[in-house]
Structure 1
Amino acid sequence: MAKRLFSDAVAAGRAVVSSRGRGRGRPDRWRRGGVLAALAALTALLLVAPGVVPNTPGRLGSLLEAFLPWLGLAVVPLLTLALLRRSALALVAVALPVTAWAYAFGGLLLPAADPGPRDLVVVQHNVSDVNEDPAGTARALAAGGADLIALEELVPEALPAYAKGLADAYPFHEVRGTVGIWSRHPLTGTRAVDIRPESVPEPWSRGLRTVARTPHGEVAVYVAHLPSFRLGAGGLGTARRDESARLLGGALDAEATGPVIVLGDLNSTVDDRGIAPLTSRLNVPERGFAFSFPASFPLARIDQVMAREATVGRIRTLPATGSDHLPVTARVTLD
């Protein structure tokens, strides 16, 4: 796809060079807009092959991938300028990023598959350690009727409110450090998963693994909260997050139970190469954008549902709670 877009851009450039004006003293509309056409081709290339942008210096590649779907908005100024320039070349070239965006993300807009007999409904939510209404958040999550609810940033003073608010619908729950899971089905074999980067001092516990005994068989469930990244003068700081993703990927390699579901605030989109240790091992949602952060104006989905030996269908957001993240929910179909 990327090679085809590049070929189209080259062909467009040749058209600029070889075309001839149709009116005396007036530039041909096929000779105008060469720069706009090149920008349109570049936008298309980045949409389908963001890996061409290196991650050094400053993790520029990861920064682009974090907001990749929004790159499609570049079509608006490109189209506007092409119309103002009355450039047929630029107008035709604008079709390239439109086609590229449809290729990369159009599938997420398709209808979801019908529910199946081996489906589990899951909810993932970073509830925020400064959430002023944990009881209300618990009630809102319980009302969704999911099979599994994964929570992060569980601080000790708020934990009783979550336990009480979810107890009736979710009789089984486990908490390790600041992450936890509530389930309608029995949980066994629960343990902490060490995803602490070497540079992070102890105590630091943000991963757990458990096995849910569902009506469809045993499912290994991982709940994880990867380190956050910071955008500073040196670029995007993702080293700790990426290291934590590698540690979690290693734990998944050692997992012997069949189907696996990973829920968590991964502080990354699925397009970001920094969490390739996870996306290379797991299936990601097939439908939906579900931008979850920040809750006040969601720009990216950093709250994720992934699976192995299972398919993640449409992912969507739930109404806002007292957190700075939106909850996300998805239907997972076991293979």
Structure 2
Amino acid sequence: MVGRAPGTAARFHMTQAHGRTDATERTPDGSAVLGRSAASGRAGAVLHGFLRWWRPAGMWRRGIVVAVLAVLLTLLLSFHSHVPNRIGNLGSLTETFLPWSGLVLPVLLVLAVVRRSATGLIAIVLPFAVWLNLFGGLLTDKEAPGGDLTVLTHNVNAGNLDPDGTARDLVVAHADIVALEELPESQAPRYAHDLAAAYPYHSVQGTVGLWSRYPMHAVRPVDIRMGWTRAMRATVTTPHGPVAVYVAHLPSVRVTFDAGFTAGQRDRAADALGRAIADEPLHSVVLLGDLNGTMNDRSLAAVTSQMRSTQGAAGNGMGFSWPASFPMARIDQIMVKGIEPRSSWTLPRTGSDHLPVAARLQLP
């Protein structure tokens, strides 16, 4: 046997215990450092213990309830357009908040892990894939540089306690065109005064108004079967050509236990607005307003089928705009036809219960 020369900083020694060989490196002061073999052995033991915990008998039979819930969620996401509207407009209500169904996925994942269910884990892949297909694109940043027209829309709220502050917040956004909805007759002059310096051209029709840096003509109300004016249309003469700008505030919807999602009046107004836009002779069209519905809501198809949402085409994130305190849905819309969206975003909260939304557009 050959020993180490005196002065060697450390020596190695092998021990045999319980059929396993551990390597221990000893330093000059006698302390021991666990060697690689022992560390690997412990990691293997941890992995072995996890596999024994995870792979008990019945791992494929466990979590059947989780798997069934995952399949039901997949069916809802895939066939939401078939949920009937005959009972309380349940289909429209489901589609309004459909993006939030994604919150069910981590719950199902945790349940599958706790139940040690391979079946549950595999089943969760289905709704996850469908949800990503529907809404994953909204989570990515689709904003692009450029654009020559900035537009903004804001439901200022009839009960807004600070209309002057709201107007100042909108001016600093430096939009070229500003649309306001839920504009009380008593407050319209205040908004006109506060916005006059930045926007020399404006028109108020009923409870909606339009302010512009560029000249406007052919201004008229749009009949959306409300009995009073909540929509308007104007031709804005921009440096890049005329643009037809529509401003609309569709009727509010309510969720009640006895009637469900009451949206009949809104749906009729959406149909009338869709017909007006379809008959528009100009090529470039912008719709600004509070539609009290999302792009997923089938009841707004008369509008959404012929226009593009700037948030879906050029936004960054879901862009929820209501309620301002905790946004849960994007019911304030900027939609275009014959125009290319370049970017879309929400603005900070004002005195309203809605967030302002804006978009940068590239005119043809």
Q: TM-score range by the shorter chain?
A: 0.7 to 0.9
Partners of 2:110 and 2:361 lie apart in 1 by: 42
The aligned counterpart of 1:225 is 249
Partners of 1:27 and 1:231 lie apart in 2 by: 47
- Note the alpha carbon deviations across 1:261-285, whole angstroms, 9 max, x for none: 0000000011001101000111113
Shift of residue 48 of structure 1? 3.6
* 1:139 matched to 2:155: no
Shift of residue 187 of structure 1? 0.6
Is 269-278 or 97-106 further displaced after alignment? 97-106
Counterpart of 1:163 in 2: which secondary structure?
helix
Preserved CA contact (<8 Å) 1:270 1:284: yes
Is 45-54 or 291-300 further displaced after alignment? 45-54
Partners of 1:85 and 1:314 lie apart in 2 by: 44
1:49 aligns with one of 79, 84, 88? 79
Preserved CA contact (<8 Å) 1:296 1:324: yes
* Paired amino acid for 2:164: A
Shift of residue 120 of structure 1? 1.6
Q: What pairs with 1:3-152 in structure 2 (closer than 5 Å)?
A: 27-116=57-146, 118-152=147-181
Partners of 2:80 and 2:345 lie apart in 1 by: 25
* 1:249 matched to 2:277: no
Shift of residue 312 of structure 1? 3.2
Counterpart of 1:251 in 2: which secondary structure?
helix
Paired residue total = 306
Is 313-322 or 85-94 further displaced after alignment? 313-322
Counterpart of 1:223 in 2: which secondary structure?
strand
The aligned counterpart of 2:350 is 321
The aligned counterpart of 2:41 is none
Larger Rg: 2
Partners of 1:298 and 1:115 lie apart in 2 by: 27
* 1:304 matched to 2:333: yes
Cα 1:66/1:313, change in 2 over 3 Å? farther
* Paired amino acid for 2:84: P
Shift of residue 216 of structure 1? 1.2
1:239 aligns with one of 249, 264, 276? 264
TM-score by length of 1: 0.88
* Identity score, percent: 52
Preserved CA contact (<8 Å) 2:289 2:334: yes
The aligned counterpart of 2:293 is 268
- Note the alpha carbon deviations across 1:136-185, whole angstroms, 9 max, x for none: 10000010011111101111221122112111111111110010011111
* 1:207 matched to 2:231: yes
Shift of residue 89 of structure 1? 0.9
The aligned counterpart of 2:214 is 185
Preserved CA contact (<8 Å) 1:283 1:310: no
Is 183-192 or 324-333 further displaced after alignment? 324-333
TM-score by length of 2: 0.81
Shift of residue 313 of structure 1? 4.2
Shift of residue 316 of structure 1? 2.0
The aligned counterpart of 1:12 is none
Partners of 1:150 and 1:308 lie apart in 2 by: 17
Counterpart of 1:263 in 2: which secondary structure?
strand
Partners of 1:30 and 1:119 lie apart in 2 by: 58
Is 301-310 or 285-294 further displaced after alignment? 285-294
Partners of 1:315 and 1:94 lie apart in 2 by: 32
Q: Alpha carbon RMSD of aligned pairs, Å?
A: 1.7
Shift of residue 108 of structure 1? 1.3
Preserved CA contact (<8 Å) 1:313 1:332: yes
Counterpart of 1:190 in 2: which secondary structure?
strand
The aligned counterpart of 2:14 is none
1:157 aligns with one of 186, 200, 214? 186
Which structure 2 segments of 5+ residues have no match? 1-51
Counterpart of 1:264 in 2: which secondary structure?
strand
- Runs of 4+ in structure 1 off by over 4 angstroms are none
Shift of residue 330 of structure 1? 1.4
Counterpart of 2:99 in 1: which secondary structure?
helix
Is 306-315 or 324-333 further displaced after alignment? 306-315
Preserved CA contact (<8 Å) 2:224 2:231: yes
Preserved CA contact (<8 Å) 2:145 2:342: no
Partners of 1:306 and 1:228 lie apart in 2 by: 19
Partners of 2:342 and 2:74 lie apart in 1 by: 27
The aligned counterpart of 2:195 is 166
The aligned counterpart of 1:19 is none
- Note the alpha carbon deviations across 1:104-139, whole angstroms, 9 max, x for none: 1111122234222x5321111000111111111000
- Note the alpha carbon deviations across 1:26-68, whole angstroms, 9 max, x for none: 6421122222112112212322431121112111110110101
